[in-house]
Amino acid sequence: MKKPFILHMLTPGTNVSPFDVNMALDAGYDAVVPYTGVTLEEVTALVQDAIFSRGPKRVKHTGVFIGGRDIGLAADMLKHAKESMVPPFEVSVFADPSGAFTTAAAMVAAVERQLRRAHNTTLKGKSVVVLGGTGPVGAVAAVLAANDGAKARIASSRDIANARSTTDDCNARYGTALEGMEASSEALMNALMQDAEVVLATSKAGVQVLKAKHLAAAPRLLVAADVNAVPPAGIEGIGLMDDGIPLSTASPRTIGIGPLAIGDIKYQTMQMLFAQMLHAEKPVYLDFRDAFEAARKVVG
């Protein structure tokens, strides 16, 4: 009898994401089992229960997915899961809290593509402003941009302390040099836009963080990308499916990337990573860096 492919989904939250469940089943898993309210200390016991029950030959038919919302906690849970393996009892693990790893990877890969196509350049040395960057998608996108050679800044609409708390955490964990900035007033937003060459809007759904009047203060802006699919757009003037369309509310050379264009890359990226888990001969441990590598393959 063929053994089913089983994915154990661990989340610190009260529910696993229906999006993640659908994606895993569509990718080929036969069964997806949720575990909610999981603490860091519980990861080892859950993982070892999963690996010792199927035998070393069939253990690769088992996988672990880590969700939640906190990107730091997800990274720690991934590390704990890896350290819990007892070869040859070892399975693949994929972390994607709130879909932040795959969404951020898709967003930055989409920006890279448009910088190449429209401006014949790369992220290296570019001034990148991440609006709403204290959330999980924004923080990961900032780290990816920084790792790609950009000067990345995380802007908070609340206060500078909120931005610096996020950048301090990211810099300590990933060795980046992110800057925290405040964007709580018109004057501060316009100052941020003065030298911005790439803007990433990652605020919560339904919140417009960048208006036409702010874009008018961004003479160097090359690419603006928005992940908000709930009206109004996070960046005024960006359409849902825009991907390389000139942004009418900005300078003539500014290219817009909309949320559904980013979402299509994210979808393909997540499917690719689940497929990698399913077909890997040796266990893989996947985080936002692997998601970025996959997203780059998706965009070509």
pLDDT single digits (tens) 163-179: 999 999 999 999 999 99
In this prediction, residues 9-30 reach a mean pLDDT of: 96
- What is the rounded CA–CA span in Å between residue 160 and residue 226? 22
Structural domains of the chain ordered from first start = 6-95 (3.40.50.10280), 102-262 (3.40.50.720)
Tens of pLDDT, residues 65-85: 999 999 999 999 999 999 999
* pTM attached to this predicted model: 0.96
**pLDDT for residue 2 is more than 90:** no
Q: Round to whole Å and give the CA distance between 90 and 109.
A: 31
Tens of pLDDT, residues 118-164:
999 999 999 999 999 999 999 999 999 999 999 999 999 888 999 99
- For residues 52 and 277, what is the distance between their CA atoms, to the nearest angstrom? 18
pLDDT at 1 over 70: no
Q: Sort 252 into a burial class: Cβ within 10 Å, 0-12 / 13-18 / 19+.
A: exposed
- 2 burial (CB, 10 Å; 0-12 / 13-18 / 19+) is exposed
